[in-house]
Structure 1
Amino acid sequence: MSRESASENPRNLQSRSVLAGQAAAAAAEVENALAPEPNLGAAAFFDVDNTIMQGASNFHFARGLHRRKFFTTGDIARAMWQQAYFRIAGEDPEHMANARAKGLSFIKGHTVAELEEVGEEIFDENMAHKIWPGTRAIAQGHLDQGQRVWLVTAAPIEIANTIARRLGLTGALGTVAENIDGVYTGQLVGEMLHGEGKAVAVTALAEREGLDLSRCYAYSDSYNDLPMLQLIGHPCAVNPDKKLRTHAKAQGWQIRDYRTGRRVAVVGGKAAVAAGTAGGAWRVMQAIRRKPR
């Protein structure tokens, strides 16, 4: 029998298949042995804008949509003017109600699948290089300890899910845009996930997942996220704004700042112009409209 015919012998093929199966099983056993023991009672919650990512995720997303002709440069200029007004005038119920009424009208008529696909592209273009390595390392540290890690952000859930998935995190909580049969209506489901809303969402998730919030961790840059930070046993201020830094020092909270020297001023300035707080970032997007057809 020739060497070639021997290699095709059914018995040889079967033996090779058995060896392959045994090797795969052994590799899986090693992988499972190296995997961290799940720590189901504890978890970590991360704000996104200026906490895990430099600047506002909505602004980075808007840049990508602008390049794809979803809206005009004039729309962006009007959004920036409105954001400047909000920063000067401050937040009040009328502004919040107006923001909710206008929420996500720029994607009205587009499909969920389309925005998810575009979101993947925009993450690679505008967001991947904006991730703070220090905060990313913290999140990975929680994963390595067997803890689950969620993003909690005012950004649309589609953006939040994309960021969480690309960073290998457990999942995300974000603002939900209404869709009917996979097509956006331009309205929000409930309220924007901002301020007290984040605390409510985290509490609901903890009840569903059986988490002990006193064992959990929370990270944010913004004083607006104080309700969420105070809810958690181990709060941490990351790249904090002035009010949060002052509060964190008074409470003895851990503070981590990955900005240095001029970079602090540049990043802070861009955040102020583009979106400021997570709530401000959402308003930038709310003021943007689809390009007239």
Structure 2
Amino acid sequence: MLRRDPVSNPPQQAAPPDVHLVTTGAAFFDLDRTVIARSSTLALAPVFYRAGLIHRSVFIRAALGQLRFHTAGEGQREARSLLLELQKIGAGWAVGQVTELVRASLPTVLYPLVYRQAQDLLQRHREAGRPLVLVTASSQVVAEPMAAVLGIEHVIATRPEVRRGRYTGAVESYPYAQGKATAMRALAASHGWNLERSYAYSDSYTDMPMLLTVGHPCAVNPDRRLRRHAVSAGWPILVAKEKVGKLPAGVGPPAGPGDPDFGAIP
């Protein structure tokens, strides 16, 4: 169970949300430092480096950015910068190769970063009958297999442009900041979800539009600006630390994105 973040002389805050009441709302989850402990983009840099897809300088930048992101939660800028850079560097990469690299890395690189507390919270929302949505600026090639393993039905993620089986270096959609909120409202409208009865979880102040879109915003491992706002607004502040470890026996990585209906914004 997620526990409240300890703060000195904490003001009166709202209690952690009761997720057991069945409603017509949904539960929206950011990925990095909310569901998993690090940046998914930065975590995969060594994989792309070993495969010869990125240069050593990019790999070193990713390693340094991952350290800042993991220890202080202040590496969002590096993660976003690297994601955009990889989109350009990736022009010409074969979709099949990248998909297989991510799929093969899921059990050893990405899944072990999943917070046990986040996994438990996902299950509680699932039992309450709420649709689950992963909302991330990471590429769909990363987000969709992660969602499949976690049992998340819908994904809002960066959609790179593909032509003839290869990435072009451009993106068709990039859900960042206000873009996340716009995509959430579109998805909710298409499914008839009540956003006032919905929940959203994120660690970053840049996700304020996402959090303000729902009636039940929650800060998870928040950065300093989000923490200040959450305390002021009386939002629940949740801390996740324990990671799940290895992928459970008998649960293999998904065959690849595009197989299930992830409910991505068209």
User: By percentage of residues, which structure has more helix?
Assistant: 1
1:176 is paired with a residue of what secondary structure? strand
Q: Which residue number corresponds to residue 271 of structure 1?
A: none
Q: Which amino acid aligns with 2:165?
A: G
CA distance in 1, matches of 2:111, 2:121: 17
1:141 to 124, 137, 143: 124
Q: Which has the larger radius of gyration?
A: 1
Kept in 1: contact 2:87–2:160 (CA 8 A)? yes
Q: Which amino acid aligns with 1:227?
A: P
Q: Secondary structure at the match of 2:217?
A: strand
Distance 1:158 1:167, change over 3 A: same
What CA deviation, in whole Å up to 9, does each residue of 1:228-283 have, x standing for no partner?
Answer: 101101110011111111111111111111249xx9xxxxxxxxxxxxxxxxxxxx
On the 8 A contact 1:229/1:235 being kept in 2, the answer is yes
Contact 1:40 1:210 (8 Å CA) reproduced: no
* Aligned partners of 2:42 and 2:82 also within 8 Å: no
> Which of 219, 230, 243 is the aligned partner of 2:212?
230
- Over 3 Å counting, the alpha-carbon distance change for 1:133 and 1:99 in structure 2 is closer
Rounded to whole Å, the distance in 2 between the matches of 1:102 and 1:256 is 32
- The one-letter amino acid of 1:194's match is Y
Q: Structure 1 residue 189 and structure 2 residue 149: aligned?
A: no
SS of equivalent residue, structure 1 residue 146: coil
Give the secondary structure class of the aligned counterpart of 1:66. helix
Partner of 2:239: 257
Deviations 1:88-131 (A, max 9, x none): 9x98xxxx9x9897561232222323222221111112111110
Distance 1:207 1:107 in 2: 33
Aligned-pair distance for 1:73? Answer: 2.0
Tell me the equivalent position of 2:108: 125
Structure 2 residue aligned with 1:112: 95
2:193 alignment partner, SS class:
coil
Q: 1:176 Cα shift?
A: 1.0
1:145, 1:82 → 2: CA distance? 37
> Residue 200 of structure 1 corresponds to which residue in structure 2?
182
The 5 A counterparts of 1:53-92 are 53-78=36-61
Secondary structure of 2:232's aligned partner: helix
1:217 to 2:199 alignment: yes
CA contact (8 A) 1:40 1:211 kept: no
Q: Greater shift after overlay, 120-129 or 52-61?
A: 120-129
CA distance in 1, matches of 2:40, 2:92: 22
What TM-score comes out, normalization by structure 2 length?
Answer: 0.72
Q: What is the root-mean-square deviation of aligned Cα atoms in Å?
A: 2.8
The one-letter amino acid paired with 1:64 is: V
- Unaligned residue ranges in structure 2 (runs of 5+): 1-21, 244-266
CA distance in 2, matches of 1:61, 1:99: 11
Conservation of the 8 A alpha-carbon contact between 1:45 and 1:152 = yes
Instruction: Give the conservation status (yes or no) of the 8 Å contact 1:100–1:188.
Output: no
Structure 1 residue 172 corresponds to structure 2 residue 155: yes
SS state of the match for residue 186, structure 1?
strand
Q: Distance in 1 between matches of 2:84 and 2:47?
A: 24
Distance of 2:84 and 2:226 partners within structure 1? 29
In 2, are the aligned partners of 1:165 and 1:171 still within 8 Å (CA)? no
Query: Cα gap change, 1:181/1:193 in structure 2, threshold over 3 Å: closer, same or farther?
Result: same
Alpha-carbon distance in structure 2 between the residues aligned to 1:60 and 1:245: 25
Identity %: 33
Are residues 81 and 238 of structure 1, via their aligned partners in 2, closer, same or farther at CA, if it must alter by over 3 Å?
closer
2:41/2:82 contact within 8 Å kept: no
Check whether the contact 1:40–1:148 (CA below 8 A) recurs between aligned residues: no
Displacement of 1:219: 0.2
SS at match of 1:104: helix
